[in-house]
């Protein structure tokens, strides 16, 4: 097996980088290689570097590590580039939540769509496009795997701006499939399903066991409050829309106009934490970040025992299939080249993909049920406008994106949307591209 080089951009998010590196080192076919770690935060990069050395020693594999705050020094020759960047999130996470809240836009996570998702994209995409330009110059044959949110937007902007092979990877579909088996009380191996849509709002349009529809059983099971309370918004969506969606209830609550537009609805449908808690991400993310760094230090010091096992993230399975030619199936965020018939063909969708030596090959899904397609298409219009704003430096396109956001439109007038946009620009101007100022 030939040696591979894997660049991880944003490796300072050390816990996730640790998960990805562990997966790779636990993959039988990936015996030799190099990790090229990049982060602009030198202290967090050093922590990730130490953890990489720890993992290599633990694995006994023939891997080495390079690390630099300057990606151009380590990108050359990379076979795979994994993007996990976070741009100025710590400085702006409260602005992303608190300013919209003044206008009645109540977010739980706010990193994919809505005002928070919009401004995360406006901060992130310029840096992402600079990274891709360097990859195109230094490692043009690399497969780029994106894990950064907003997922669909990051992939879409990258595909429009470069000629690189790019796939967006999330864990929402595989995690949800296991959750559904648990809710049904069935062994995972016994359920059969088909899912497709857009990232964080894909749909399990088929859920069966031995050809029998399992949705009647699921509707019966959620009469038990112990099951229903685990995922109340997604269960409510399933009851009314006929299909289960692929993100947590907290995320799902802000992706449509139904659950967060009035205080009484928020009280009725949302729950603590990922169940839809107001400001959950803004209130906890800075603490999570510090806790994640401490977790790595605890592994390195021996205070915490490290469990070396391969997890469910798709990156290592893609590499294994491409290096060995043994096919694998993953769910990827890719350009909709006729894959989902009734969604825009110039946007990014999430579908099953075959992977082998030829790379990531998306498969045709067909049409979604019309009402589900409409919900996804509204997001894809948002994606198109934001990508256009950044790529063409079109400020008004960014404003229009916020105007078509489902949750924002449910509670704000057009004048209020514009006023909110201007207030968020003023608060974040030091971190935004010039065309927005």
The answer to whether 342 and 368 are in contact (CB under 8 A) is: yes
Structure tokens at 25: 């080192």
- DSSP 8-class letter at 81: E
Q: What is the pTM of this model?
A: 0.98
Class of domain 96-114+170-278+313-437: alpha beta
d(CA 131, CA 172): 25
The answer as to CATH 3.40.50.2300 being correct for domain 4-95+115-169+302-310 is no
Q: Are the C-beta atoms of residues 400 and 385 closer than 8 Å to each other?
A: yes
Q: How far apart are CA 180 and CA 188, in angstroms?
A: 9
Same fold, 4-95+115-169+302-310 and 96-114+170-278+313-437: no
Please state the domain extents for the chain. Answer: 4-95+115-169+302-310, 96-114+170-278+313-437
Annotation marks residue 171 as catalytic: yes
Q: Which residues contact 421 (CB under 8 A, 6 or more apart)?
A: 115, 398, 399, 402
**Cα separation of 349 and 343, whole Å?**
8
CA distance 355 to 325: 8
Rounded Cα distance between 432 and 417, Å, is 18
pLDDT in tens, 110-157: 999 999 999 999 999 999 999 999 999 999 999 999 999 999 999 999
Per-residue pLDDT, 14: 78
CA 105/CA 407 separation, integer angstroms: 7
Among residues 49, 58, 95, 171, the one annotated as catalytic is 171
The closest alpha carbon to 124, from 96, 101, 97, belongs to 96
| 199 DSSP assignment | T
pLDDT in tens, 66-111: 999 999 999 999 999 999 999 999 999 999 999 999 999 999 999 9
Over residues 362-397, the pLDDT tens digits come to 999 999 999 999 999 999 999 999 999 999 999 999
């Amino acid at each position: 097996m030939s040696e591979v080089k894997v660049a991880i951009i944003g490796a300072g998010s050390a816990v996730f980088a640790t998960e990805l590196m562990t997966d790779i080192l636990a993959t039988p076919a990936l015996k030799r290689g190099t990790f090229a770690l990049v982060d602009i935060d030198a202290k967090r990069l050093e922590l990730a570097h130490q953890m990489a050395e720890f993992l290599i020693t633990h694995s006994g594999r023939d891997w080495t590590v390079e690390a630099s705050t300057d990606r151009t020094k380590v990108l050359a020759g990379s076979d795979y580039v994994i993007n996990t960047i976070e741009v100025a999130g710590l400085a702006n996470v409260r602005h992303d939540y608190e300013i919209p809240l003044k206008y009645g836009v109540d977010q739980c996570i706010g990193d994919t769509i809505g005002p928070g998702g919009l401004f995360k994209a406006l901060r992130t995409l310029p840096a992402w496009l600079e990274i891709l330009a360097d990859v195109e110059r230094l490692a043009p044959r690399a497969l780029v795997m994106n894990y950064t949110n907003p997922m669909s937007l990051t992939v879409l902007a990258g595909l429009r701006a470069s000629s690189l092979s790019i796939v967006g990877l999330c864990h929402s579909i595989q995690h949800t499939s296991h959750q559904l088996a648990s809710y049904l009380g069935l062994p995972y191996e016994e359920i059969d399903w088909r899912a497709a849509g857009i990232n964080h709002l894909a749909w399990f349009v088929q859920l069966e066991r031995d050809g029998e529809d399992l949705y009647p059983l699921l509707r019966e099971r959620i009469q038990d409050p112990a099951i229903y309370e685990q995922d109340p918004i997604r269960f409510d969506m399933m009851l009314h829309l006929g299909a289960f969606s692929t993100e947590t209830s907290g995320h799902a609550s802000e992706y449509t106009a139904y659950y967060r537009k009035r205080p009484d609805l928020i009280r009725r449908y949302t729950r603590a934490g990922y169940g839809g808690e107001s400001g959950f991400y803004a209130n906890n993310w800075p603490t999570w970040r510090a806790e994640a760094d401490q977790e790595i230090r605890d592994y390195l010091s021996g205070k915490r025992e490290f469990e070396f096992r391969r997890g469910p993230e798709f990156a290592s399975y893609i590499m294994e299939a491409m290096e060995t030619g043994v096919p694998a199936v993953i769910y990827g965020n890719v350009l909709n080249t006729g894959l989902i018939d009734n969604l825009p063909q110039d946007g990014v969708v999430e579908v099953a993909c075959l992977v082998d030596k030829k790379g990531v090959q998306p498969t045709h899904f067909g049409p979604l049920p019309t009402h589900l397609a409409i919900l996804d298409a509204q997001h894809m219009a948002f994606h198109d406008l934001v990508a256009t704003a950044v790529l063409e430096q079109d400020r008004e396109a960014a404003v229009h994106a916020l105007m078509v956001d489902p949750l924002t439109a449910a509670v704000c007038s057009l004048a209020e949307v514009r006023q909110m946009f201007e207030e968020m620009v003023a608060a974040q101007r030091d971190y935004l591209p010039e065309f927005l100022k």
